[in-house]
Amino acid sequence: MSANAVATATDVMFYINLVLVFIAMIELAAFIVLYRKTSCADVAGLATILLFAMGLCAFVCQLIIYVLALDSAVYFVYLGLAVMYCAFVVGSVYCVFLSRNSHKTLCILAGVFNIVPPVGAVFVTMLSYKINIDTRGQSLVFNGYAYTYAALGEFCSKTPADFADMSGNMKFEQLDKKRTKKYLKQLKANTADAEGKYKYGAALVYYFPYKYNKALRYMQKAAEGHCSAALFNLGYYYEVGVYVKSDFKKAKSYYIKAADAGDTDAALRLAILAIKNGNAAEGIKILQDRVESMGDLCAKYNIGVCHENGYGVEPNIAKALDIYTECAKGGLIAAQKRIFALASIDINSAQNGEFFRNVTDRDFQGEFGIMINGLIEIKKRRAADAAEIFLNAVRKKGEWEGLARYLVGTLYIDCGKLPADRKNGVEFIKSAIPFMPDAKHIYDVVSKSDINKSKKEQ
């Protein structure tokens, strides 16, 4: 090949390389953004950035040699082109790795088209912008789940293998101090009958537990008026020893009166009381009769509690889990919560992974199925996917909204890489407190200085 032909080829390759350099500068900036916002596939990200930087350095060298018109210019041009194209290929691999966390379609498109520099630059830039406006997916990676495990542990401690019923306790809204006083004033104005006295007493217990003596007086007056709910509640207070000293004899008396007044759950509590009082065979027989005659899911669940704890039968967690599963699929929240607690206990255990799989292989549906899927992702150390799943449960606005908000918040704090993640985590935990007052424990533990720091960095 003549010297003129070589010079012409060098010129062509130089200008091609010049175009690639401008594209590479755009992609280098985008990949730096991606690398700073994610902590997955760090090696691929760092390799991409270094190769682009080396390509740019090679271009500076070939520019000097090209200007000096040295004979070796063509080799440096080819070398720069090779390094630059390696950067595009490694960048493609990096984008594909990122697709495992979130923005899957965009990541894959960026990875595929990155080997076609002009098109790839567009997709990589779009990806870096997308992550900028939605930091959740890519910035959440496994860094340890200290707060998340604490939240799950707290849930487990509040959800022991204890008996349950479907008693129709009043449901209360979360009200501020002013609205609470107004609401209680309205209830007190309607205490002429037994039902009104019960509602006022129940509201006092809920909003001002320290006023339980006053609440109990109204509850007892309501019971004297044969209010079945008041009789049932008093029986429950004496059974578990809340607000009063535990007294099974008084509890039984109130439950019998409540059953006579028409409370259907009082008979269930009498069976539970018999089991607690040492007459497990008698209590279990009552429960089984209710299951067979009424299809009572609570009674079936309580039989599961007996199998788990060994009340009147040999302890058998597998049998208990089978019973809980039937009840959970029937929509019994108490059973769902117990299964979730059992799975949560086992989630961080290296020894009993088989039990966790036994729980999670049961094909639960609906909102509870979403929560179990979230636990699976935590077990797999996939924080971003777990957070996204729990967010789906939040959007359902059902029974699990509070715990879902709580776990989204702890995942943001545990595994978020950006200040925005920590701020979002704190806000989610705060939003869970009306549903789960215990969430305030972790909310208070989160470092105030870290919160203020995250706000300043926004």
HEC string of the chain? Answer: CCHHHHHHHHHHHHHHHHHHHHHHHHHHHHHHHHHHHCCCCHHHHHHHHHHHHHHHHHHHHHHHHHHHCCCCHHHHHHHHHHHHHHHHHHHHHHHHHHCCCCCHHHHHHHHHHCCCHHHHHHHHHHHHHHHHHCCHHHHCCCCCCHHHHHHHHHHHHCCCCCCCCCCCCCCCCCCCHHHHHHHHHHHHCCCCCHHHHHHHHHHHHHHCHHHHHHHHHHHHHHHHCCCHHHHHHHHHHHHHCCCCCCCHHHHHHHHHHHHHCCCHHHHHHHHHHHHHCCCHHHHHHHHHHHHHHHCCHHHHHHHHHHHHHCCCCCCCHHHHHHHHHHHHHCCCHHHHHHHHHHHHHHCCCCCCHHHHHHHHCCCCCHHHHHHHHHHHHHHCCCHHHHHHHHHHHHHHCCCCHHHHHHHHHHHHHHHCCCHHHHHHHHHHHHHHCCCCCCHHHHHHHCCHHHHHHHHHHC
pLDDT of residue 102: 59
Please tell me the least confidently modeled range out of 47-51, 137-141, 217-221. 137-141
Give CA–CA dist 425/408, Å, rounded. Answer: 7
As a whole number of angstroms, the distance between CA 418 and CA 119 comes to 29
pLDDT band at 2; cut points 50, 70, 90: very low
96 within domain boundaries: yes
Residues 258 and 235: beta-carbon distance below 8 Å: yes
The answer to whether residues 429 and 405 touch, using CB atoms and an 8 Å cutoff, is yes
Residue 284 within any structural domain of the chain? no
Cα angle 424, 138, 110; round to 5: 145
Does 21 fall in a domain?
yes
pLDDT band at residue 256 using 50, 70 and 90 as cut-offs = very high
User: Given this model, what pLDDT does residue 95 score?
Assistant: 87
Judged on CB neighbours under 10 Å (0-12, 13-18, 19+), 398 is: middle
Banded pLDDT at 148 (limits 50, 70, 90): very high
Domain for residue 331, yes or no? no
Residue-wise pLDDT for 160-198, tens only, equals: 988 988 775 567 777 778 888 898 899 889 889 999 999
- Tokens representing 314 are 């040999």
109 residue type, one letter: L
Model pLDDT, residue 6: 46
Per-residue confidence (pLDDT) for residue 458, from 0 to 100: 46
Residue 453 maps to a domain: no
Is residue 59 included in any domain, yes or no? yes
2-11, 246-255, 383-392: least confidently modelled range:
2-11
pLDDT band at 408 (very low <50, low <70, confident <90, very high): very high
Q: What pLDDT is recorded for position 322? A: 95
- CA distances (Å), origin 434, targets 166, 294, 308, 440: 22, 35, 31, 9
Average pLDDT over residues 76-99: 82
Average pLDDT, the chain: 83
* Domain of residue 111, residue span: 3-134
Query: How would residue 134 be classed by pLDDT, with cut points 50, 70 and 90?
Result: very low
Place of tokens 């890489």: 417
| Domains identified in the chain, total number | 1
In this structure, which amino acid lies at residue 209?
P
Residues 6+ away with beta carbon under 8 Å from 456: none
Residue 432: CB atoms within 10 A of its CB come to 27
Output the pTM of the full model: 0.66
Residue predicted with more confidence, 31 or 139: 31
What pLDDT digit, counting tens, does each position of 328-366 carry?
999 999 999 999 999 998 776 655 578 888 888 888 999
Amino acid at 137: G
Share of the chain above pLDDT 70, in %: 84
Question: Residue 119 falls within a domain, yes or no?
Answer: yes
Kindly tell me if the per-residue pLDDT of 16 is higher than 70: no
CA distance 355 to 72: 67
In a domain, residue 103? The reply is: yes
Mean pLDDT comparison of 101-105, 386-390, 436-440, highest-scoring range:
386-390
